[in-house]
Structure 1
């Protein structure tokens, strides 16, 4: 049996908070308990919001917590050609189409359809409107006109066709809190035609994270419960691209006093602020419900 490989993959678009500490510690503790490897990956495809000072802070915060990881660290911004190559395979299979619609056009189309039908437009599992098909796959002349106007397309997955190509029985293995493994049925259709290549960068979260996990040999994907439903899209991409299926574990989230998921805008939960206030790594573990070295969540 191959050695387990786990990863923690933050984005350097703000300072790490208690929720990140929980995910990193759970993943690190699990890797140690399994005798596996712990990888750190920097998910910085958002070249506008990600900044070097936040990346440096990630290393400082994790080291302060007592974590160590393998070098070199994979940075997504250095691997755009790999994502483009994977997307080309999907294009060649007829599974991607260009979308020139702006966010405003999409919002207006959703509003118009809601007004016409008198019913709410379908939402994806994250609560965003399902893509309504604006500029869906324009013909050659229309594409030439749009690009002559300086518009660049995003590339969306034709979800209906992709699911048909993938075939039936799409699911993933979920490691539950009691240590048992359950089979979860994937439902990628709930997401609509998701973006695979963004307009501003040749990647998207769905494509990059799926490909990275495969290229790094990740066997156990440990991440927050907020990404549980997104696994449907990732399993579909794995099937379409012939990538291995890891074991998933979606742990509980650390919530704020208002009951909401923590965000990087909450400076009171930032690890660096807690450290400056005199908190110790052991106290951080206690605050998020972990023992001195135990695994929970």
Structure 2
């Protein structure tokens, strides 16, 4: 709901990944939220309509010497990170921490198109943000070791989740980001981008995930039950919310 006491809930359609963005899935978001009694200001921001803003942010980072092009594929990264002399590969918010294979690629000239662009973690200093009003910190050395040079522009998207949400949060004046605990590891990346782009850092709240009886989080790829299935089975919105408050296990 849009409520003065609790702030304003903003709905944003994050559709830069066209393969995972279908009209019927978007329609289900609207239907489910309305059924739960939520409302939001219109028009809804759509990321595919904001590519110029993401390009401008990438141009700024490139001109500051903070990005470099990367031609590595997933299998190349895994092979390099799994080499015997490297030991077991470290996992960060985007999977295996990048071993820096392309870090010495040329950064001269204008920003290249059609290639992945990585953020040089060597430029990341100490970070600070608030989680549920609790101060959190990460020093630059830890960022470089456990997160590394993340992709901020994919070759197929021209941007990334990390870059897009940081730019959008700033332009929408977001002061509290509420999202699932599965995205908590991405927060240092976003705080780093906010600092480098000279944008404000909001507060963060990462809520617990709804899981099945085996402890696995519910996700579309696992054919998890949609909210609509409870509605069709005769549940009321109040009953479903009460059930979720009673237990983190899906009803």
TM-score range, shorter chain: 0.7 to 0.9
Map 1:266-277 → 2, pairs under 5 A: 266-277=222-233
Which of 131, 145, 159 is matched with 1:174 structurally?
Answer: 131
1:97, 1:155 within 8 Å by CA — same for their partners in 2? yes
Q: What pairs up with 1:1-297 in 2 under 5 angstroms?
A: 28=1, 32=3, 34-111=5-82, 113=83, 115-117=84-86, 119-125=87-93, 128-139=95-106, 152-161=114-123, 163=124, 167-168=125-126, 170-175=127-132, 181-186=133-138, 188-189=143-144, 190-289=146-245
Closer, same or farther: CA 67–139 of 1 in aligned 2, 3 Å: closer
Q: Residues 268 and 174 of structure 1: is their aligned pair in 2 closer, same or farther, counting only changes over 3 Å?
A: closer
Q: How many residues align?
A: 240
User: Alpha-carbon deviation of 1:269?
Assistant: 2.3
Distance in 2, Cα, partners of 1:59 & 1:137 = 46
Q: Which is bigger in relative contact order (C-alpha 8 A, separation at least 6)? A: 1
Cα 1:279/1:231, change in 2 over 3 Å: same
State the 1:32 CA deviation.
3.0
CA distance in 2, matches of 1:107, 1:62: 39
Q: Is the 8 A contact 1:156 1:195 kept in 2?
A: yes
What RMSD, in angstroms, separates the aligned Cα atoms of the two structures?
2.3
**Alignment partners' CA distance in 1, 2:230 and 2:221:** 14
Is there any run of 5+ residues in structure 2 with no aligned partner, and where?
Answer: 247-251
> 1:48 offset after TM fit, Å?
1.9
Structure 2 CA distance for aligned equivalents of residues 139 and 232 of structure 1: 26
TM-score by length of structure 1 reads: 0.75
Are the counterparts in 1 of residues 103 and 120 from structure 2 also a CA contact under 8 Å?
A: no
C-alpha deviations, 1:42-100, integer Å up to 9, x for none?
11110122111111111111111111110000011110110111011000000000001
C-alpha deviations, 1:94-152, integer Å up to 9, x for none? 000000111222222223x2x245x21222156x2111223334349xxxxxx9xxx94
After superposition, the Cα gap between the structure-2 partners of 1:267 and 1:129, relative to the gap in structure 1 and judged at 3 Å, is closer
3-state SS of paired residue (1:269): coil
Native 8 Å contact 1:98 1:137 kept in 2: no
TM-score, with structure 2 as normaliser: 0.87
Aligned CA distance change for structure 1 residues 139 and 69 (closer, same or farther; 3 Å): closer
